[in-house]
Amino acid sequence: RIPASVTPNLRIPLFWLSFKNFPFKLYKKLVIQTLKKDGYCCLYFHPWEFTDLSGYKIPKYTRRIDGNELTERLQKFIQELQTQAEFNTMFQFIEERKYK
């Protein structure tokens, strides 16, 4: 099991909920800090996050950014971080560390 990354100082989890609710620039800054300290950042999202959640009675902070808007936000995030980080699957991450 590989847990979601947390920020170096305040130990804020960098997962789907903070990605949706933190300002984009702040989240990106926290991820960069984590990359510098840990050398990697493990983020995870549920598949249902990328559907329209507006018709469901769930807390607003859970459905704040969803569907296409979340897809676009994630694409922007990856695009902006590609010069500072390498993106891998969990399988690739584990395989690379097996022999270190």
CB atoms within 10 A of CB 5: 21
Average the pLDDT over 14-23 and give the result. Answer: 95
Nearest to 14 by CA among 6, 26, 23, 22: 6
Question: How high is the pLDDT of residue 73?
Answer: 97
pLDDT per residue over 56-70, tens digit each? 999 999 988 999 999
Nearest to 34 by CA among 17, 16, 15: 15
Instruction: Quote the pTM value.
Output: 0.87
**Mean pLDDT of the chain, nearest integer:** 92
Question: Rounded CA gap, 56 and 70, in Å?
Answer: 17
